[in-house]
């Protein structure tokens, strides 16, 4: 039986894909790894020879590896296709002898969303979008929050036409739409703008951004949720980032947790940004409540899921050392181009 080392296989595949100069060559490399007679398929065929306890673990590793290499191949294909298109256009274009100067750059929120989208796409997640003017059903009731639930008071909703139409208070509304419109297994993320009648200060705004993540599979635990969020923190802030998880109550999950990051402004000593506690709340998460699955027509005895909702603006602030959330949506042209960051 051939040696199975997912990390080594992924690294080798990425190197070969990156070094392939043509679409034809790219197809050949992808076929060697992903085709019917490819390397991954050969490992699938060998699963039956493994002890029973190792089969499921090997199958899950192979599925993840297949998704990761597929994403790498698609990204390289897009890169090569764009290069060919640009080459063809330049060949037909008349040389004017000068290039237009670059004007402006991507907003830090846009840069962060694109980076997170790319990260989760590599993990096999789809990217969903939904309406910002939402119905009470998808924003609240399908999240296990009936009209008389006290948690509604905490969100101070902005209504377009009370009680049925409102500006969404979280991208969890797209989670309920995704659960209603698609069948498991499911993995998707949702970046987007949300609205609440908040008092504006250094760390809060009435317009801000959420980044929602959802996974519904046959077997899911808090271990999978913590692993995903830890991986996200380390990818964005480095291996030394300090994170803690607190017990939290959210009607849409049970149990619920809140991931906090040590304040980047005071390194845990306490300041006005973190309200003196040394930690900044970065979102909420937990195991999806069975009621959500039932309302979406999904059997909670067969399927389980986790969900997380990140306060994206705070992630951006921590990434770029921005100490006042108001500057993210202000009209002051104060941002400098981050030369140490690759624009995605």
Provide DSSP, 243-267: EEEEEE--TTEEEEEEEEEE-TTTT
Quickly list H helices, 258-321. Answer: 290-295, 312-320
Average pLDDT over residues 329-341: 55
- For 213, phi and psi rounded to 5 degrees? -130, 140
Task: Report the predicted TM-score, pTM, of the whole model to 2 decimal places.
Answer: 0.65
Distance of CA 23 to the CA centre of its chain: 29
Answer yes or no: is pLDDT of 273 > 90.
no
**Averaged pLDDT for residues 76-97:** 69
Q: How many angstroms separate the CA atoms of 159 and 137, rounded?
A: 13
CA distances from 268 to 243, 277, 279, 295, 316 (A): 11, 7, 6, 42, 18
pLDDT beyond 70 at 284: yes
Of 39-43, 85-89, 222-226, 339-343, the range with the highest mean pLDDT is 222-226
What's the confidence (pLDDT) of residue 321?
85
Q: Of 75-79, 95-99, 120-124, 255-259, where does mean pLDDT reach its minimum?
A: 95-99
What is the mean predicted confidence (pLDDT) over 8-21? 87
Domains of the chain, residue spans: 6-91, 108-328
What is residue 285's predicted lDDT score, i.e. its pLDDT? 96
Tell me what pLDDT residue 80 has.
78
Q: Which whole-number Å values give the CA distances from 127 to 108, 111, 130, 193, 297, in the listed order?
A: 19, 16, 11, 15, 22
Query: How many C-beta neighbours within 10 Å does residue 68 have?
Result: 19
Q: Is the dihedral of CA 189, 304, 243, 170 positive or negative?
A: positive
Band of pLDDT at residue 259, cut at 50, 70 and 90: very high
Reply yes or no on whether the pLDDT at 95 is more than 70: no
260 phi and psi angles, rounded to 5 deg: -115, 150
User: Are the C-beta atoms of residues 256 and 247 closer than 8 Å to each other?
Assistant: yes
Encoding tokens for residue 193? 């703008």
- C-alpha–C-alpha distance, residues 127 and 120, integer Å: 9
**DSSP secondary-structure letter at 330?**
S
Would you state the pLDDT for residue 341? 47
Long-range contacts of 221-224 (CB under 8 A, 24+ apart): 221/287, 221/304, 222/255, 222/257, 222/287, 222/306, 224/306
Q: What are the pLDDT digits (tens) for 21-68? A: 888 888 888 888 888 888 888 888 888 888 887 888 888 888 888 899
Overall CATH class of domain 108-328: alpha beta
pLDDT of residue 198: 83
CA dist 284 and 229 (Å) reads 11
pLDDT of residue 343: 41
Strand partners, 256: 248, 286
Nearest alpha-carbon partner for 308 in 237, 201, 220, 240: 220
């Amino acid at each position: 039986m051939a040696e199975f080392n997912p990390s080594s296989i992924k690294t080798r595949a990425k190197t070969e894909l990156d070094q392939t100069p043509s679409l034809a060559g790219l197809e050949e490399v992808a076929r060697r790894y992903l085709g019917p007679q490819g390397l991954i398929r050969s490992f699938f065929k060998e699963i039956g020879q493994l002890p029973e306890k190792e089969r499921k673990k090997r199958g899950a590793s192979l599925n993840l590896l297949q998704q990761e290499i597929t994403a790498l191949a698609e990204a390289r294909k897009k890169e090569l296709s764009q290069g060919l298109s640009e080459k063809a256009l330049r060949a037909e274009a008349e040389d004017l002898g000068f290039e237009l100067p670059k004007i402006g750059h991507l907003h830090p929120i846009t840069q962060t969303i694109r980076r997170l989208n790319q990260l989760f796409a590599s993990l096999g997640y789809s990217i969903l979008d939904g309406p910002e003017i939402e119905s009470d059903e998808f924003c609240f009731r399908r999240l296990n929050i009936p009209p008389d639930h006290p948690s509604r008071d905490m969100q101070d909703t902005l209504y377009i036409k009370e009680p049925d139409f409102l500006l969404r208070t979280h991208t969890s509304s797209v989670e309920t739409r995704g659960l209603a419109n698609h069948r498991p297994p499911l993995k998707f993320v949702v970046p987007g703008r949300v609205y609440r009648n908040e008092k504006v200060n250094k760390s809060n705004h009435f317009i801000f951004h959420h980044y929602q993540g959802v996974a519904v599979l046959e077997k899911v635990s808090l271990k999978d949720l913590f692993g995903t969020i830890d991986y996200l923190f380390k990818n964005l802030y480095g291996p030394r980032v300090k994170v803690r998880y607190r017990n939290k109550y959210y009607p849409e999950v049970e149990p619920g947790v809140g991931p906090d990051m040590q304040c980047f402004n005071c390194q845990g000593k306490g300041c006005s940004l973190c309200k003196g506690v040394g930690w900044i709340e970065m979102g909420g998460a937990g195991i999806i409540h069975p009621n959500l699955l039932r309302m979406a027509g999904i059997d909670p005895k067969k399927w389980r899921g986790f969900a997380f909702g990140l306060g994206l603006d705070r992630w951006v602030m921590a990434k770029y050392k921005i100490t006042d959330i108001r500057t993210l949506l202000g009209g002051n042209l104060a941002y400098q181009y981050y030369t140490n960051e690759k624009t995605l």
